[in-house]
Amino acid sequence: MRIQEFAVSDEKSGPYAITAGPDQALWVTLVHAGRIARLTVDGEVATYPLDTAECGPTIITPGPDGALWFTRFRDHRIGRMTSNGAIDSFPIPTPDSGPFGIVAGPDGALWFTETNADRIGRITTDGQITEFPLPTDGGFPSAITLGPDDALWFTLNQANAIGRIDLDGNVAVHSLPTPAAGPVGITRGTDDALWFVEIGAGQIGRISVHGRIDEFALLDRSARPHAVVADPDGGCWFTEWGANRIGHIGPDGDITEYDLPTPSSEPHGIAVGPDGAVWVALEIGLVACLRPVSTY
């Protein structure tokens, strides 16, 4: 792999999540600065301030309306930004809900997690919000993704479980075999299972739509895997926040790891870009791009 790094902010702004937008660019949340950055595959950067620097933009995803939607963890709102930088936001009915994960559903709406409220939220593209309670107390629902069964699958970081909610709000919870595993990121794999990372256990997990769970240990159990994205060629890419590495797990559980060039760069969000490369948000103000050497 060849790894390039691009500066998108100063080291205090905190690039956190990254996604490929509908405009063939990468969009990055700057969680500590209250800004959203846009990065082209050629390295051109533009940043857009939100209405308050303290709102805490966290996870970002493309919406069904061609805009970017993101959670505002610190002021408990859902944000929306068009590709030309027009911004709107919508307050969540439950106070201090702590929205974190967000993803487009199969129903033309966005679904999101409320970490502080044990709820899953749904927001239409015109800003109407519905909330669904979870059967947990302090479960800390975190990342969320769309499954192959047209349900939403999410991690319960403090309940040590994976949750599933259908479009009617029916919830199922699957406990993890490893105690205190602390699942965070989750994604739909090319094998139509859900893959997730266990930040507390140093493992990668896989759950089928029928609830079968497999876990794969990293060589460095203290690596703190944080975010995960499906590899279109099979397997998944993931960040190792505590080890300054990017990892890849194959469909059978074989793991390959790549050291990042800048020490202590704190890799967080990860996405496959419109160019097929792997793009990673680094909290120190950079975005890393991983490409096979053979593509140069």
Q: What is the DSSP letter of 295?
A: G
Q: Which residues pair with 162 in a beta bridge?
A: 155, 174
CA distance 233 to 17: 22
Radius of gyration for the alpha carbons in the chain, expressed in angstroms and rounded: 17
Q: Is 186 exposed, middle or buried (0-12, 13-18, 19+ CB in 10 A)?
A: buried
CA distance 174 to 141: 13
283 marked as binding residue: yes
240 marked as binding residue: no
Q: How many residues does the chain have?
A: 296
215 marked as binding residue: no
Contacts of 13 (CB under 8 A, 6+ apart): 30, 31, 32, 33, 35, 285
Check if the beta carbon of residue 113 is closer than 8 Å to that of residue 70: no
Strand runs labelled E in 82-235: 87-91, 99-104, 110-114, 119-123, 129-133, 141-146, 152-156, 161-165, 171-175, 183-188, 194-198, 203-207, 213-217, 225-230
Check if the beta carbon of residue 145 is closer than 8 Å to that of residue 152: yes
Whether 268 is catalytic: yes
Catalytic residue among 32, 76, 248, 268: 268
CA distance 195 to 244: 21
CA distance 167 to 187: 18
Burial code (b: 16+ CB inside 10 Å, e: under 16) for 240-271 equals bbbbbbbbbbeeeeeeebbebeeeebbbbbbb
Check if the beta carbon of residue 187 is closer than 8 Å to that of residue 232: no
Q: Which residues are annotated as a binding site for substrate?
A: 226
Catalytic residues: 268
Residues of the binding site: 226, 266, 283
Residues annotated in the binding site for Mg(2+), as ranges?
266, 283
